[in-house]
């Protein structure tokens, strides 16, 4: 496979777990890091470490340049119009909290916030809280038995919505939602579309202008970058109307004892000392992904998912769409009468890392009438032979527990 040559870039994939070669199938939780990213972070702390935007000394200047270059890389990666639209945050969850609470002056009593029943808790609870705070209404679009969003229900509910918050790719069903279609509807109705890109931005080309997205949230650590760095993209005009959520240094321009004036974009939303090394590491991850090409990354996901749907589908119940093209690179599944924790524990004995539980999507699991599921997720460093190992272990588990 064409991706094979990249595996050697990931030092952790050489390690053994319980005496077996590690098979890492938990990239939807967090991805592994290539040495190119690790090296850039080490180099920053070794040679350039200083605080940014403050001092006039050489190190601070180097750090500031590297940090702002990372912002340029992010802007180019999602095709934002300008770097002013790229806010560095800690992760997708923080980005979505900034999105919701940043809109607190825009959302009024009885306004409607529309989201879906397939959201990760991070794209549900901030809206629940905002709705509560502003006495606004929270409404939901369901998904059908094949894991697709009910577009008829969406059509019925979208017209009077002030905000539409939707995930681009479900972290359980794998469903890739028709963001462009939904965004076009929000343009007609004049609502704001907020997209959870945690599972999509790392895995496929995402162009915010082409998709007409107003706000996009994603994490660095799911796309080969370090933990603790994420991004909130928002159209400039929207960011200008939004309020900061956390207050303190870096986000202010002028301060008196009783008054503060917010800094220019994007700094208005970046409070305190940022995760400088993290942003620079994310920049390196973007370089790495760009050099491979996001179309190729996506193609590889589709191939692995198609293979897994076929192979794992023979022995397990897999949730979500049947077509690999409609899914991101993950499968959530259950074996009959075996708790996902037991599946994960036995797989771990074979060196295979998967996730078990409700994957921070309890309403989704409730709707599927299951308490938990097992999830195997893929990235560019995974192979079909690793899926074969997964299937072999799952067959063994079926035997142990029968």
Partner 1 sequence: MREEIYTELIMEHYKRPRNFGKISKPDTIYSDANPLCGDEIKVYVKFSGKKINEIKFTGHGCAISQASASMITEFVKGKNFEFVKNLSKDDVLKLLGIELSPMRLKCALLPLKAVKMAVYSHLSKDQK
Q: Which of 260, 292, 353, 360 is catalytic?
A: 360
Q: Is 304 helix (H, G, I), strand (E, B) or coil?
A: helix
Q: Which is nearer to partner 1, 51 or 348 (CB)?
A: 348
Q: With b meaning 16 or more CB within 10 Å and e meaning fewer, what string describes 303-330?
A: bbbebbbebbeeebebbbbeebebbbbb
Q: Which is nearer to partner 1, 17 or 246 (CB)?
A: 17
Smallest separation (angstroms) from partner 1 to the CB of 334: 12
Q: Which is nearer to partner 1, 7 or 360 (CB)?
A: 360
Q: Which is nearer to partner 1, 65 or 345 (CB)?
A: 345
Evaluated on CA atoms 31, 37, 41, 42, the torsion sign reads positive
- What DSSP letter does each residue of 129-193 carry, written as one string? HHHHHHT-EEEEE-B-TTS-B-HHHHHHHHTTEEEEEEESB-TTT-BBP-HHHHHHHHHHHTPEE
Smallest separation (angstroms) from partner 1 to the CB of 335: 12
Q: Which of residues 12-31 bind partner 1 (CB under 8 A)?
A: 18-19
Q: Which two tokens stand for residue 136?
A: 């606004």
Q: Which of residues 198-237 bind partner 1 (CB under 8 A)?
A: none
Q: Which is nearer to partner 1, 89 or 374 (CB)?
A: 374
Active site residue 252: no
Smallest separation (angstroms) from partner 1 to the CB of 347: 12
Element (H, E) at 211: helix 208-211
Q: Are 193 and 144 in contact (CB under 8 A)?
A: no
Distance CA 102, CA 269 (A): 9
Contact status: 396 vs partner 1 (CB under 8 A): no
Q: Pattern of binders to partner 1 over 339-378, x per CB under 8 A?
A: xxxx--xx--x------xxx------x-----xx------
Number of chain positions touching partner 1 (CB under 8 A): 17
Smallest separation (angstroms) from partner 1 to the CB of 31: 22
CA 145 to centroid of chain Cα atoms: 24
Q: Are 196 and 122 in contact (CB under 8 A)?
A: yes
Site residues (vs partner 1, CB under 8 A): 18-19, 339-342, 345-346, 349, 356-358, 365, 371-372, 400-401
Catalytic positions, please?
Answer: 360
């Amino acid at each position: 496979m064409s991706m094979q040559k990249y595996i050697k870039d990931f030092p952790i994939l050489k390690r053994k777990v319980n005496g077996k070669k590690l098979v890492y199938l938990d990239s939807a939780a967090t991805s592994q890091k290539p040495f190119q990213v690790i090296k850039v972070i080490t180099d920053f702390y070794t040679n350039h470490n200083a605080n940014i935007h403050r001092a006039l000394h050489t190190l601070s200047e180097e750090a500031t340049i590297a940090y702002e270059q990372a912002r340029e890389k992010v802007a180019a990666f999602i095709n934002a119009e300008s770097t002013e639209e790229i806010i560095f945050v800690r992760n997708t969850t923080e980005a979505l909290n900034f999105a919701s609470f940043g809109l607190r002056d825009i959302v009024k009593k009885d306004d409607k916030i529309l989201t879906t029943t397939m959201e990760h808790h991070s794209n549900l609870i901030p809206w629940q809280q905002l709705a509560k705070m502003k006495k606004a209404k929270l409404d939901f679009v369901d998904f059908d038995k094949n894991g697709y969003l009910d577009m008829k229900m969406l059509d019925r509910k979208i017209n009077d919505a002030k905000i539409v918050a939707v995930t681009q790719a479900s972290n359980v069903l794998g469903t890739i939602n028709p963001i462009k279609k939904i965004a076009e509807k929000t343009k007609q109705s004049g609502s704001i579309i907020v997209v959870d890109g945690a599972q999509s931005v790392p895995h496929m080309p995402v162009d915010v202008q082409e998709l007409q997205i107003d706000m996009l949230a994603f994490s660095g650590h799911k796309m080969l970058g370090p933990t603790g760095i994420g991004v909130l993209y928002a159209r400039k005009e929207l960011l200008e109307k939004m309020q900061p959520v956390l207050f303190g240094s870096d986000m202010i321009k002028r301060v008196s004892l009783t008054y503060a004036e917010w800094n220019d974009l994007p700094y208005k939303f970046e409070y305190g000392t940022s995760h400088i090394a993290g942003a620079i590491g994310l920049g390196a991850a973007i370089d790495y992904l760009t050099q491979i090409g996001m179309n190729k990354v996506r193609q590889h996901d589709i191939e692995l998912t198609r293979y897994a749907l076929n192979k794992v589908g023979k022995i397990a119940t897999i949730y979500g769409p049947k077509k690999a093209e409609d899914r991101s690179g993950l499968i959530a599944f259950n074996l009959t009468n075996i708790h996902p924790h037991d599946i994960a524990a036995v797989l771990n004995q074979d060196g295979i890392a998967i996730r078990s539980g409700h994957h921070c999507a309890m309403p989704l699991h409730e709707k599927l009438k299951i308490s938990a599921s097992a999830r195997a997720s893929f990235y560019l460093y995974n192979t079909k032979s690793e899926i074969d190992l997964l299937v072999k272990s799952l067959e063994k588990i079926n035997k142990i527990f029968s």
